[in-house]
């Protein structure tokens, strides 16, 4: 398909292309897995890939002696700590058991730790649905609540997963009530667990439109490394096998129906209700049911608003937004990957597109799909797909690429940093590598890099949402660039946007230091909120504006 064909809307080839793109977009499901730390995101990601039969054996638990790390956690720090510190994209296909239709899954596993919430937020700008994982023993936790609010603000429908039901935990109705009362999202379970938390027998599939309930009985496998066998039984057979446990689940289902907590697709897509599934990602119980729910219920790609407020439909000419940049994924090649979410049109490897931020042409010769750290060349891709562009040094999170009519999507806001430190190379002979590393980590958005004349380029100040970001920086400096560094914390707690007119006076104030961020924004770092209040009272004419700190 040529650019000329695309530019003639009424041509036969353009109509065929539009129909093809629409059909391909309809097959896509692009979603993020999000939660509080240690709720089981990476384990669930692995289990979903296992059930889609794209891996033969799950990587199982982090930190267990002799076991593999999951495919979505590839950084050495992630493997050592058993946590995700960077979002990871996986693409695979899935065929519904009762249907020959093949669905393309674009799954992004995100870091759960609050220190990396900025990375998670970037991912949420690129997906159509979210899977919110909740630890059944702990219920809603602080980071879970924040992520729900982000999804609500962005209009992202949420499927809730009550995970770790194989461990002792809370009661079914207690967990559902907490979701309803604390975040105002009405839970509508698709399945209910048979057996209390810690004694997970199977799932009751709630009947739709008068259908009878069905029992899905699971059988454990060694270490949960393979797909758990499933047996489908009628309600009568389930009652004879499980007795009181089945009766309890059936009664809970009836109670939920009486209070209007049955799934409704319209209210789900409107962000008013959330389908709920109970799982044990560790044992692979309920994972296939989640995968099927995603295919059947999660929305396919849809139009996106540009900065001018105009909608770009999925069948319009190619456009995409970059939501993440990551280097160091392959130690053998030392390359840099820009992850883009295709918004509209068909992508063809090698096509020359326009970089909206510079107006310059951009060649897409090296394009790949991702499966954790593994990658393969992609020749074509469609709306909803996540594609990695190799060595795309001109691209940064929030940038737009397009073909045909110009379009630019809204930028991704930076969070307000709360932790600050000076970074130095321990050896002056490593300064060249040090400077290159700082530029790369800054462009990826790992941290914000601040400079002023007093400190100079040799001692940049790093600004982070959480202190663990500093650990990522020093670890990557050492492993990727062979540069040992020294990190000295600074006594600042707040950052405020300022301007050149205010900078001189602010520089004279005790407990304040002014820096230039890489994107050209002047930031005043202040020791604490009391010092800020004093300055604002004594110098009301100075510019001290809050930075974007949340999705609000």
The span from the CA of 26 to the CA of 72, in Å, is 26
Q: Given the DSSP bridges, would you call strands 28-35 and 102-109 parallel, antiparallel or unpaired?
A: parallel
The span from the CA of 331 to the CA of 75, in Å, is 10
The span from the CA of 89 to the CA of 78, in Å, is 15
**What's the angle, vertex CA 20, arms to CA 18 and CA 22, rounded to 5?**
70
Is 113 annotated as ligand-binding? Answer: yes
Strand residues in 225-379 grouped as ranges (E): 230-234, 273-278, 304-305, 311-312, 319-327, 336-344, 347-348, 352-355, 360-363, 367-371, 374-377
Q: Which of helix, strand or coil describes residue 165?
A: coil
Q: Given the DSSP bridges, would you call strands 380-381 and 347-348 parallel, antiparallel or unpaired?
A: antiparallel
> Minimal CA–CA distance to 475: which of 423, 417, 430, 432?
423
Angle between helices 172-183 and 244-258 (to 10 degrees): 30
Element (DSSP H or E) covering residue 489: strand 485-489
The span from the CA of 183 to the CA of 160, in Å, is 12
Is 419 annotated as ligand-binding? Answer: no
The span from the CA of 434 to the CA of 426, in Å, is 10
Cα radius of gyration rounded to whole Å, the chain: 25
Instruction: State the first-to-last Cα distance of the chain, in angstroms, to the nearest integer.
Output: 41
The answer to whether the beta carbons of residues 47 and 284 sit under 8 Å apart is yes
The answer to whether the beta carbons of residues 401 and 356 sit under 8 Å apart is yes
Strand partners, 336: 327
In this structure, what are the phi and psi dihedrals at residue 295, rounded to the nearest 5 degrees? -65, -40
Strand partners, 516: 451, 522
The span from the CA of 391 to the CA of 486, in Å, is 29
Q: Given the DSSP bridges, would you call strands 202-205 and 419-425 parallel, antiparallel or unpaired?
A: unpaired
Is 110 annotated as ligand-binding? Answer: yes
The answer to whether the beta carbons of residues 376 and 424 sit under 8 Å apart is no
The span from the CA of 117 to the CA of 415, in Å, is 9
Is 73 annotated as ligand-binding? Answer: no
The answer to whether the beta carbons of residues 310 and 415 sit under 8 Å apart is no
Element (DSSP H or E) covering residue 180: helix 172-183
Residue ranges of the binding site for GTP: 109-113
Residue ranges of the binding site: 109-113
């Amino acid at each position: 398909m040529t650019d000329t064909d695309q530019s003639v809307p009424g041509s036969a080839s353009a109509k065929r292309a539009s129909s093809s793109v629409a059909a391909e977009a309809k097959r896509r499901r692009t979603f993020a897995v999000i939660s509080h730390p240690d709720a089981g995101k990476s384990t669930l990601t692995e289990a979903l890939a296992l059930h889609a039969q794209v891996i033969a054996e799950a990587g199982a638990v982090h930190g267990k002696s002799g076991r593999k790390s999951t495919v979505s956690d590839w950084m050495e720090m992630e493997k050592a700590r058993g946590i995700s510190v960077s979002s990871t994209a996986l693409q695979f296909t899935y065929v519904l058991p009762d249907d020959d239709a093949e669905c393309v899954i674009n799954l992004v596993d995100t870091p759960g730790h609050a220190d990396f919430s900025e990375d998670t937020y970037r991912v949420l700008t690129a997906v159509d649905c979210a899977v919110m994982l909740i630890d059944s023993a702990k219920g809603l936790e602080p980071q879970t609540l924040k992520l729900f609010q982000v999804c609500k603000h962005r209009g992202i429908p949420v499927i809730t997963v009550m995970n770790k039901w194989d461990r002792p935990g809370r009661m079914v109705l207690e967990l559902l009530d907490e979701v309803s009362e604390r975040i105002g999202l009405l839970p509508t379970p698709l399945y209910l667990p048979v057996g209390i938390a810690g004694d997970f027998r199977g799932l009751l599939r709630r009947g739709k439109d008068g259908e009878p309930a069905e029992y899905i009985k699971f059988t454990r496998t060694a270490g949960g490394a393979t797909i758990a066998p499933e047996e489908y039984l009628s309600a009568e057979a389930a009652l004879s096998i499980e007795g009181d446990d089945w009766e309890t689940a059936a009664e809970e289902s009836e109670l939920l129906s009486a209070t209007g907590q049955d799934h409704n697709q319209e209210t789900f897509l409107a962000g008013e209700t959330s389908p709920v599934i109970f799982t044990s990602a560790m044992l692979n119980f309920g994972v296939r049911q989640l995968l099927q729910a995603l295919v059947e219920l999660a929305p396919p790609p849809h139009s996106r608003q540009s900065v001018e407020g105009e909608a770009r439909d999925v069948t319009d000419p190619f456009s995409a937004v970059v939501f993440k940049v990551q280097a160091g994924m392959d130690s053998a090649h030392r390359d840099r990957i820009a992850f883009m979410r295709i918004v509209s049109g068909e992508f063809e490897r090698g096509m020359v597109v326009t970089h909206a931020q510079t107006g310059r042409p951009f060649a897409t010769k090296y394009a790949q799909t991702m499966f954790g750290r593994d990658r393969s060349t992609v020749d074509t891709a469609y709306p909803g797909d996540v594609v990695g562009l190799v060595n795309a040094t001109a691209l940064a999170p929030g940038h737009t690429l397009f073909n045909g009519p110009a379009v630019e999507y809204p930028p991704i806001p930076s969070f307000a940093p709360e932790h600050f430190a000076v970074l130095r190379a321990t050896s002056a002979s490593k300064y060249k590598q040090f400077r290159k590393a700082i530029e790369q980590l800054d462009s990826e958005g790992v941290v914000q890099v601040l400079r002023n004349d007093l400190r100079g380029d040799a001692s940049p100040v790093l600004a982070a949402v959480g202190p663990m970001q500093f650990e990522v920086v020093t670890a990557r400096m050492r492993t990727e660039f062979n540069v040992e560094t020294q990190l000295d914390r600074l006594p600042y707690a707040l950052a405020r946007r300022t301007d050149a007119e205010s900078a001189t006076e602010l520089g004279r104030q005790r407990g304040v230091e002014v820096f230039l961020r890489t994107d050209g924004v002047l930031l005043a770092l202040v020791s604490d909120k009391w010092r800020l209040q004093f300055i604002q009272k004594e110098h009301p004419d100075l510019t001290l504006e809050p930075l974007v700190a949340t999705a609000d």
